[in-house]
């Protein structure tokens, strides 16, 4: 089976980072946010796409 070396490296780094914080999701996120804040990179965020309320209701309607 073919392995993607780049993905394998990403998985390894992610595992090491999580292990460093004892797999505590809050601590991992806090660390990543702190690194993001001091990175001096431009942060671009887009609002979450809102589902069309009419469409989502009709999707679950029963006949």
* pTM beyond cutoff 0.85: no
pLDDT of residue 26: 97
Do 21 and 31 form a contact (C-beta atoms < 8 A)?
A: yes
CA distance linking residue 43 with residue 38, whole number of Å:
11
Phi, psi values for residue 51, rounded to 5°: -70, 145
pLDDT of residue 16: 98
pLDDT digits (tens, 9 = 90+) for 4-60: 999 999 999 999 999 999 999 999 999 999 999 999 888 888 888 887 766 555 555
**Residue 18 DSSP one-character state:** H
pLDDT of residue 32: 94
pLDDT of residue 49: 82
Do 43 and 36 form a contact (C-beta atoms < 8 A)?
A: yes
Tokens of 56: 């989502």
Neighbouring C-beta atoms of residue 57, cutoff 10 Å: 10
């Amino acid at each position: 089976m073919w392995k993607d070396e780049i993905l394998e490296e990403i998985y390894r780094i992610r595992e090491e980072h999580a292990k460093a914080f004892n797999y505590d999701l809050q601590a991992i996120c806090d660390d990543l946010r702190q690194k993001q804040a001091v990175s001096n990179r431009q942060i671009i965020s887009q609002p979450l796409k809102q589902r069309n309320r009419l469409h989502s209701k009709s999707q679950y309607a029963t006949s």
